[in-house]
Amino acid sequence: MPLSLSVLDQSPVRSGATALDAIEETVTLAQAAEACGYARYWLAEHHGTDGLAGCSPEVLLSRIGAVTREIRIGSGGVMLSHYSPLKVAENFALLSTMYPGRVDLGLGRAPGGDQLTAKAMLYGSRIGIEYYPAKVLDLKAFLYGSDPANKSLSRVRVTPRPVIAPEMWLLGSSADSATLAAQFGLPFSFAHFINSTRPEQIIEHYRQTFSPSDILKQPQASICVFAICAETQVEADHLSSSGALWRVMLEKGTLGPFPSPEEAEAYPYTKTEKLLAEAGKRRGIVGDPATVKARIEAIAASCKVNEVMVVTICHDIRARLRSYELIASAFDLKRGESL
């Protein structure tokens, strides 16, 4: 089958720009992704950082749904450990009522921020990460009518009841997440851009341990990669220098605005920081259209998936839009108007 390509947007804030700029760029990118023929447009959730503006995917999705027509929209993902499964179900039931047949609910286990911020999100609740599997089951029950983990909640009704329920995915970068997705009979999306070690084994583990459910009879997996595409390798490498510095800052506990290539090239890297930057580069796909296409196809083939999500961050929004256009063109996606 031909590869289906989708977009993950983390709503990055560029140095010299504002969070409002980042949100407007997210809106522009969603419209461009639809025009280029991408299948899904997912929004990430992060907290307590000046570098990523998307703290609430469900709020942003309401805006994205209003400015697009056909592309599937969803969360990549909602950090369910922080929230009531009922409230998440209501949010996505409402989105599915507003945009029927277009909404995906991707769920993650990560805190999406530092530990203090995670505690503030819980605000004294004793329902810790160990309750995550139960929350997933209860959320699934609220949306699909299956049995909840907490039997006392079996009579709870989610309203409005959408004609078409959101498509529910589990996201992760480890075998633990794959195991949960398989156990609950849910689609699984692997975050290769976070962990590029053994994706083939983790996704195969998901397939081999998959239990059919009332919403999914066969395993369904995708993979999310980081990629920057430009007309030439030299230009792509130049654009990617920003991300190398950003990853170094992340490892140091500082996730501020996304630097420009000029800022990155002027930064006085230590020997250790250079190693970190190079390790980060190796996880991504950077190059001209032929190079990027070949790398994406190779990863998809090795993982035996036919859907790949692409996350692209660079300082120049025009270069970011152009990267997605070049990738779409390389894969001959259904085209709308040019970016």
Percent of the chain at pLDDT > 90 equals 80
Q: Is residue 71 part of a domain?
A: yes
What are the angstrom distances between the C-alpha of 197 and each of 66, 86, 127, 169? 38, 35, 31, 21
CB 138, CB 153: distance < 8 Å: yes
**Mean pLDDT, residues 298-327 taken together:** 97
Distance of alpha carbon 183 from alpha carbon 221, whole angstroms = 14
More confident residue, 336 or 321: 321
- Choose from 129-138, 145-154, 324-333 the range with maximum mean pLDDT: 324-333
Q: Quote the domain boundaries for residue 321.
A: 4-231+285-330
In total, how many domains does the chain have?
1
| Strand spans (E) along 158-232 | 167-172, 188-191, 221-229
Give the pLDDT confidence of 20-54 residue by residue, as tens digits. Answer: 999 999 999 999 999 999 999 999 999 988 999 99
Structure confidence at residue 124 (pLDDT): 65
- Whether residue 65 is preceded by a cis peptide bond, meaning omega within 30 degrees of 0, is no
Per the model's pLDDT, the better-predicted residue between 111 and 249 turns out to be 249
Question: C-alpha distances in angstroms, 65 versus 42, 58, 224, 285?
Answer: 11, 10, 22, 29
Is residue 248 situated within a structural domain? Answer: no
CA dihedral 116, 117, 119, 125 (to 10 degrees): 170
Average of per-residue pLDDT across 219-233: 98
Cα of first residue to Cα of last residue in the chain, in angstroms, is: 27
- As a whole number of angstroms, the distance between CA 292 and CA 228 comes to 8
Classify residue 92: in a domain, yes or no: yes
In a domain, 272, yes or no: no
- Is residue 45 included in any domain, yes or no? yes
Sign of the C-alpha dihedral, residues 182, 184, 186, 190?
negative
For the segment 83-111, the average pLDDT, to the nearest whole number, is 95
CATH number at residue 98: 3.20.20.30
| 168, part of any domain | yes
Place of tokens 């996730």: 255
Q: How many Cα atoms are found within 13 Å in the side-chain-facing hemisphere of 262?
A: 4
Quickly count: other Cβ atoms within 10 Å of residue 27's Cβ: 17
Average pLDDT, the chain: 93
Instruction: Render pLDDT for 208-220 as a digit per residue (tens, 0 to 9).
Output: 999 999 999 999 9
Residue 259 lies in a domain: no
Q: Quick one: tokens of 138?
A: 């209860």
**Structural domain contains residue 18:** yes
Say how far apart CA 183 and CA 211 lie, in whole Å.
Answer: 6
What angle do the packed helices 199-209 and 175-184 form, to 10 degrees? 20
Query: What does the pLDDT average to over 227-254?
Result: 92
> Between 219 and 130, where is the model more confident?
219
Round to whole Å and give the CA distance between 97 and 95.
5
Assigned token pair, 54 = 């998307």
pLDDT of res. 104: 98
Residue in this structure with the two tokens 């160990």, named with its chain if needed: 130
- What are the phi and psi torsion angles at 139 (to 5°)? -60, -45
Closest by CA position to 191, among listed 227, 225, 228 = 225
Contact criterion met (CB below 8 Å) for 164 and 100: yes
Identify the bridge partners of residue 107 per DSSP, sorted by sequence position: 78, 170
